[in-house]
Structure 1
Amino acid sequence: MTADHWTIFGILAVTLALFAWGRWRYDIVALVALLVTAGAGLVPADEMFSGLGHPAVVTVAAVLALSRGLLNAGVVDTLARSLTRVGDRPWVQVTALTGVVAIASAFINNVGALALFMPVAVWMARHGGRSPSFLLMPLAFGSLLGGTLTMIGTPPNIIIATYRAEEAGSAFAMFDFLPVGLAITLVGLAFIALIGWRLTPQRRRADDSDELFEISAYLTELHVPEDSKFTGHSLHELLAAVREDADVLVVGLVREGKRKEVPSTHEVLRTDDILLVEADSDSLKTLIDITGLELPSRDEDDKDDKANREDDEEHEDSTSESDKPDRSELTLVEAIITPGSTLVGKTAARLDLRERHGVNILAVARQGKRLRERIGRIRFVPGDILLLQGSEDTLQSALNTLGCLPLASRGLRITRPRRVLTASAIFLVTLALVALQTVPAAMGLVAGAVAMVLGRLIPLGEIYDSIDMRIIVLLAALLPVGQALETTGGSALIAEGLLDLATSASPAVMLAILITTVMLLSNVVNNAAAAVLAAPVAIKLAEGMNASADPFLMAVAIGASCAFLTPIGHQSNTLVMEPGGYRFGDYWRMGLPVSLLVVATAVPAILWVWPL
């Protein structure tokens, strides 16, 4: 091996180790890798940032923006709500949820699709008297399988399509991935629905008698306004008004700064009472609609909250009305606190979120532990689920800044209608233009994203917030590094090693080895990174076998998209870990047989559709 070989392999080895370690965010790791590669002279200085203009990067950004437009319009949310009528049988629920999320993930960002269906899955589990863990992992795996169906389903497919354009002169088309993707998706979903869900750990509550609430139950503060029709009436009368329509538990009452635990149902309500209520988000909305109780429009600070504040207490009182969110534009959003969030270890009273980010924390849910403190005094931990209130134009930006992942908006939108037909029409026209190859994929998808903006389906404040810049930076940084692997002869060297390893192996065995290797890689690093690094090797491997590169590139696409063994291989797996109560080692129990089925199904499907 030459000095350049040692250099590029050393850079990649350290990069992969840092990806697996997870201490640094993957986009920062990719940028460091690019800088070191350029510093070593393996990437020309004038080509260092060429990845920013790469068609794959532009396409991924456009797909993320299109996904936001569809989500904003309520296209997927409408479908999600219909799933609540599928019944209580476990295999029916698993089949319906995984099937629908797979279809949605073929056309929109699979993490966004998963986030919308998660509350539905938890609601189903709760009303069926089961642990959410039996539904959430199948849901995550369904989103990964569905991403393999189309070119826009997942970033690895977009990357592989552009590599094919460089190799063969034309990219894979929108539905070129469908035959192989459909085969593994159907086999995977059949296994998950019939057998796989039984392999998931059934996380039960530690003490059923204490009724520890699950992710869908929130501790919420509701204010009794001056004109409330329940002022002077008993708590029993208020609860009776919603008993048939909502599942509500009153755990406390705050009156004149004093709190009563589990108040009597004969307690007579007064103006300005604050009820501490446990309810899922749908029941919460029903309770508000029927009774006229109010969600707080600002942080309700009592004396204990003020003692905890680190910032100036008078700042909130002196804030002008123009600084407060316009209630006519307020919406509610559920979000999960990630391990790297700035909220971890802090309390709402200390964060002053309303003044700094224009959002209010209205409710908090924590798996396996009932929260009985006032909201302002709860110290947040990773995995807490927050119900946030704020302006639609500022919520997404606030979530990105705070390090929270949105789960779903809960329908309290007042000013923006759900333009399902408009969003669907724009998306279908875009899809047709790209599928028929009337325009290049990047051009067509960018045009669709612009149409979403012009149609006011994506507010101006969300245009760039809808694009995950971490993925964009990762791709833009790693594409030149992947090119350096090829120009130095590193990819050819790896391909030669694979050929020497399996000199007597059949093409089917080589494809199986390639899929398995990339699949294992994508379980410890970002799937887009796995595709960027493996694609040049696949091309050289095809050249060494005097075969078409198409089946090998397709194998890389499948392997990079199917990370079922760990919670860190894909954001979908990470997103369900805390709500499902999963441990790191739980994923392989269902993930290993699904991975083996994917390899066994993909290899013959690839050879049939894309012969050597």
Structure 2
Amino acid sequence: MWITLALTVVALYLLVREKLPMDLVGIGIIVVLAVSGVLDPAHAVSGFANRAVITVGALFIVGEGILKTGAVSFLARRIIDMSRGTTLGILVLMTVFVGTVSMFLNNTPVVIVFIPLLLGIASEKRIFPSKILIPLSYASILGGSCTLIGTSTNILVSTASESHGMPPIAMFELMKLGLILFAIGGIYLATIGQRLLPERHSLTTDAPGGKIREFVTEVEVLAGSPKIGTSIGEVFGDAGARPLSIIRGEQMFWPPFDEHVIDEGDVLILQGSLNSIAELETREGIRILPDIKDETLRFEPKTMSFVELVVSPNSGLVGSPVAEIGLREKADLVPIAIMRHGRHIRGKISDIRLEPGDVLLAFGSESGIREVARGGDFLLMEGIHEAYVNRAKAPIAGLILLGVMITLSTGMIPMEIASLAGALLMIMTGCLKAKQAYEAINWPILLLVAGMLALGEALESTGAAALLGQPLVAVGVAFGPWIALSALYLATSIVTAVLSNNATAVLLVPVALAIANALGVDSRPFVITIAFAASAAFATPLGYQTNLLVYGPGGYRFSDFLKVGGPLTLILWAVASLMIPLFWKF
């Protein structure tokens, strides 16, 4: 038991502090459980054959097929046009549409489709994007909670329930409460939420007021530069870019720089707006990001453009140093600066390892920008750059999705087979290429889930789950199962705020079952509680991928999610605590 508990603590620490990529954490859990003898090897790796893992992976492909045919982006544009450019109109129509689509598709790509469209109309209508991007993420989360396939969390919870002799969650079983929570969340976002959301610049909009957003870059003073021997203030006083530190050999100097003069080979870490950093490109004797750029490569206004790229949560470049991401080789695009919200970047920018939500400032040709748009590593913050979509296949993709939904609703065939059949048909009918299908799968999430499934089994088999559930059992004994369920929802929503929703669900289902068994009541309400609470990741940008996606483009700070999402979490906690036992009896 103690090995399992210690491993749980270590895994949570690594995930919360992002000490290791989530896929390595998942694999590490499996290895430790097998080597320590807590689980035999067959059970340790059984998560890879789990029905939920297979279903989630296949549905990633089905959802990508819908998106690649352009059906969602086409409808999204019509919805935006119908709003007539008002903040409230955009918010209401977007919430209804995104929530509805997210009931049947993975919500991460749905949000990716909407972000450039919303940024475009925000720039055109002079609306603050910060007023509509958090609601975009929250609407997708609330909508996804309504159906079995709306979020992978529900599939994982359903499979866990079935493995313990309970009936699986039906396709629309969660909708009776999910729609109530969706409506309450939508009203909150349109009223109280709007007042709590900040009025702040985005990267690519020119909204009135607010503070200009700033990037961090580094420049090297070249041999023979006319800047050598001059003071920091003389060189950068009129550039609009502020020096944060100076790297000279093995030494690093911090402000104030009153007595410092520039020497050959100095590397300066600078912070400034897009325009101020772009202006540095024209200065003689300095080179931006010397570890990345070709010395002869300069920005050419006639043939090149600046572009801002947000690192996708699914990007294969997460964890890679900026100097090694290969944009220059792959797309003839040159990164020159980075922005990371909520954290002060120290040291050389080229050594910084990318994290989801980081924003890179780069320049290059239009063809290079289009090449990046076709990949899945970055989200472009300009709506004019779109990947190719095959609209002729949209009806076929829609019929395939409908077929998957019908088979899942009726239980005609097992859900993993129905999902695999849908993925296969997407490729065979040409809605999606095989390579695109592989790229659509979020492999790190699946590897983490496989590891968490093994950890969940270990928690249950060793009695650790019962031990972790004892405080809530004590609450239930003293105040009844209703209060124990409410406490479980709150505890789950706190964990999912710092851990991924999938990992939270897999980890806490055994605890929920242990609580129900100890209280001698039906475990169904407790399992349903995990399904809803694990997706209630509103209070931080860390618990849900869509929150990370809007973090950079919306110009948000970490505290904005707490300010807006915290009250929403508490409201939904109160409503769910009251209504879950009414719909699912103890």
- TM-score higher than 0.5: yes
Query: Is 2:309–2:359's contact at 8 Å kept on the other side of the alignment?
Result: no
Question: Which AA in structure 1 matches 2:421?
Answer: A
Higher alpha-carbon deviation: 187-196 or 381-390: 381-390
Aligned with 1:29 (options 25, 28, 35): 25
- Verify: 1:523 aligned to 2:497, yes or no: yes
In structure 2, relative to structure 1, the CA distance for the partners of 1:112 and 1:486 (3 Å cut) is: same
Question: Which AA in structure 1 matches 2:474?
Answer: D
In structure 2, relative to structure 1, the CA distance for the partners of 1:160 and 1:406 (3 Å cut) is: farther
The residue that corresponds to 1:172 in the other structure is 169
In structure 2, relative to structure 1, the CA distance for the partners of 1:405 and 1:549 (3 Å cut) is: farther
How much does 1:384 deviate? 2.9
How much does 1:530 deviate? 0.4
How much does 1:91 deviate? 2.1
Alignment partners' CA distance in 1, 2:403 and 2:120: 34
In structure 2, relative to structure 1, the CA distance for the partners of 1:519 and 1:450 (3 Å cut) is: same
How much does 1:25 deviate? 1.4
Aligned with 1:60 (options 44, 56, 60): 56
Alignment partners' CA distance in 1, 2:132 and 2:547: 13
Query: Is 1:335–1:408's contact at 8 Å kept on the other side of the alignment?
Result: no
Query: Is 2:145–2:154's contact at 8 Å kept on the other side of the alignment?
Result: yes
Alignment partners' CA distance in 2, 1:452 and 1:12: 38
How much does 1:392 deviate? 13
- Verify: 1:84 aligned to 2:80, yes or no: yes
The residue that corresponds to 1:132 in the other structure is 129
The residue that corresponds to 1:586 in the other structure is 560
Q: Calculate the TM-score normalised by the size of structure 2.
A: 0.75
Alignment partners' CA distance in 2, 1:126 and 1:600: 38
Query: Is 1:564–1:594's contact at 8 Å kept on the other side of the alignment?
Result: yes
How much does 1:575 deviate? 1.2
Written as runs of structure 1 = structure 2, the 5 A alignment for 1:207-286 is none
- Verify: 1:115 aligned to 2:133, yes or no: no
In structure 2, relative to structure 1, the CA distance for the partners of 1:407 and 1:604 (3 Å cut) is: farther
- Verify: 1:189 aligned to 2:186, yes or no: yes
How much does 1:32 deviate? 1.8
What number of residue pairs does the alignment pair up?
Answer: 492
How much does 1:586 deviate? 1.5
The residue that corresponds to 2:263 in the other structure is none
CA distances 1:469-499 after superposition (whole Å, capped 9, x unpaired): 0011011111111101000011122233311
Question: Which AA in structure 1 matches 2:359?
Answer: G
The residue that corresponds to 2:222 in the other structure is none
How much does 1:309 deviate? 8.4
Written as runs of structure 1 = structure 2, the 5 A alignment for 1:435-454 is 435-454=409-428
The residue that corresponds to 1:550 in the other structure is 524
CA distances 1:528-555 after superposition (whole Å, capped 9, x unpaired): 1100110011111111222221111110
- Verify: 1:45 aligned to 2:41, yes or no: yes
Query: Is 1:367–1:581's contact at 8 Å kept on the other side of the alignment?
Result: no
- Verify: 1:203 aligned to 2:179, yes or no: no
- Verify: 1:430 aligned to 2:404, yes or no: yes
Query: Is 1:337–1:343's contact at 8 Å kept on the other side of the alignment?
Result: no
Question: Which AA in structure 2 matches 1:544?
Answer: A
How much does 1:38 deviate? 2.1
Query: Is 1:59–1:442's contact at 8 Å kept on the other side of the alignment?
Result: yes
How much does 1:52 deviate? 0.5
How much does 1:37 deviate? 2.2
- Verify: 1:572 aligned to 2:546, yes or no: yes
Alignment partners' CA distance in 1, 2:168 and 2:207: 55
Higher alpha-carbon deviation: 584-593 or 204-213: 204-213
Question: Which AA in structure 2 matches 1:34?
Answer: I
Written as runs of structure 1 = structure 2, the 5 A alignment for 1:92-491 is 92-204=89-201, 335-337=309-311, 341=318, 345-346=322-323, 353=327, 356-357=329-330, 359-361=331-333, 382-384=358-360, 399-400=376-377, 404-405=378-379, 416-491=390-465
In structure 2, relative to structure 1, the CA distance for the partners of 1:533 and 1:134 (3 Å cut) is: same
Question: Which AA in structure 1 matches 2:30?
Answer: L
In structure 2, relative to structure 1, the CA distance for the partners of 1:407 and 1:47 (3 Å cut) is: farther
The residue that corresponds to 2:535 in the other structure is 561
Alignment partners' CA distance in 1, 2:188 and 2:491: 23
Question: Which AA in structure 2 matches 1:507?
Answer: P
How much does 1:167 deviate? 2.1
Alignment partners' CA distance in 1, 2:528 and 2:168: 12
Question: Which AA in structure 2 matches 1:195?
Answer: I
CA distances 1:147-191 after superposition (whole Å, capped 9, x unpaired): 101111112101111012112353112111211211111111111
Q: Calculate the TM-score normalised by the size of structure 1.
A: 0.72
Alignment partners' CA distance in 2, 1:204 and 1:415: 30
Query: Is 1:179–1:605's contact at 8 Å kept on the other side of the alignment?
Result: no
Query: Is 2:201–2:554's contact at 8 Å kept on the other side of the alignment?
Result: no
How much does 1:304 deviate? 9.9
Query: Is 1:396–1:462's contact at 8 Å kept on the other side of the alignment?
Result: no
Query: Is 1:72–1:457's contact at 8 Å kept on the other side of the alignment?
Result: yes
In structure 2, relative to structure 1, the CA distance for the partners of 1:438 and 1:575 (3 Å cut) is: same
- Verify: 1:7 aligned to 2:3, yes or no: yes
Percent identity, please.
28
Alignment partners' CA distance in 1, 2:289 and 2:369: 31
Question: Which AA in structure 2 matches 1:63?
Answer: L
Query: Is 1:136–1:580's contact at 8 Å kept on the other side of the alignment?
Result: yes
Question: Which AA in structure 2 matches 1:171?
Answer: P
Query: Is 2:119–2:381's contact at 8 Å kept on the other side of the alignment?
Result: no
Query: Is 2:293–2:334's contact at 8 Å kept on the other side of the alignment?
Result: no
Structure 2 segments unaligned to the other structure (5+ residues): 215-273, 275-284, 297-306, 341-349
CA distances 1:221-249 after superposition (whole Å, capped 9, x unpaired): xxxxxxxxxxxxxxxxxxxxxxxxxxxxx
Alignment partners' CA distance in 1, 2:495 and 2:398: 36
Query: Is 2:540–2:558's contact at 8 Å kept on the other side of the alignment?
Result: yes
Question: Which AA in structure 1 matches 2:511?
Answer: V
In structure 2, relative to structure 1, the CA distance for the partners of 1:152 and 1:141 (3 Å cut) is: same
Question: Which AA in structure 2 matches 1:534?
Answer: L
CA distances 1:181-230 after superposition (whole Å, capped 9, x unpaired): 11111111111112212201111489989999889xxxxxxxxxxxxxxx
The residue that corresponds to 1:299 in the other structure is none
Query: Is 1:116–1:407's contact at 8 Å kept on the other side of the alignment?
Result: no
In structure 2, relative to structure 1, the CA distance for the partners of 1:392 and 1:168 (3 Å cut) is: farther
In structure 2, relative to structure 1, the CA distance for the partners of 1:99 and 1:362 (3 Å cut) is: farther
Query: Is 2:120–2:383's contact at 8 Å kept on the other side of the alignment?
Result: no
Query: Is 1:562–1:595's contact at 8 Å kept on the other side of the alignment?
Result: yes
Alignment partners' CA distance in 2, 1:438 and 1:145: 28
Alignment partners' CA distance in 2, 1:591 and 1:82: 28
CA distances 1:284-334 after superposition (whole Å, capped 9, x unpaired): xxxxxxxxxxxxxxxxxxx999996879999xxxxxxxxxxxxxxxxxx98
Q: Cα RMSD over matched residues? A: 3.9
How much does 1:34 deviate? 2.3
Alignment partners' CA distance in 1, 2:404 and 2:365: 33
Higher alpha-carbon deviation: 535-544 or 203-212: 203-212
How much does 1:59 deviate? 0.7
SS at match of 1:504: helix
How much does 1:49 deviate? 1.2
Alignment partners' CA distance in 2, 1:197 and 1:306: 40
How much does 1:395 deviate? 5.9
Query: Is 2:482–2:581's contact at 8 Å kept on the other side of the alignment?
Result: yes
Query: Is 1:62–1:446's contact at 8 Å kept on the other side of the alignment?
Result: yes
CA distances 1:412-457 after superposition (whole Å, capped 9, x unpaired): 6668444221111110011101111111111101101101011111
Question: Which AA in structure 1 matches 2:110?
Answer: A
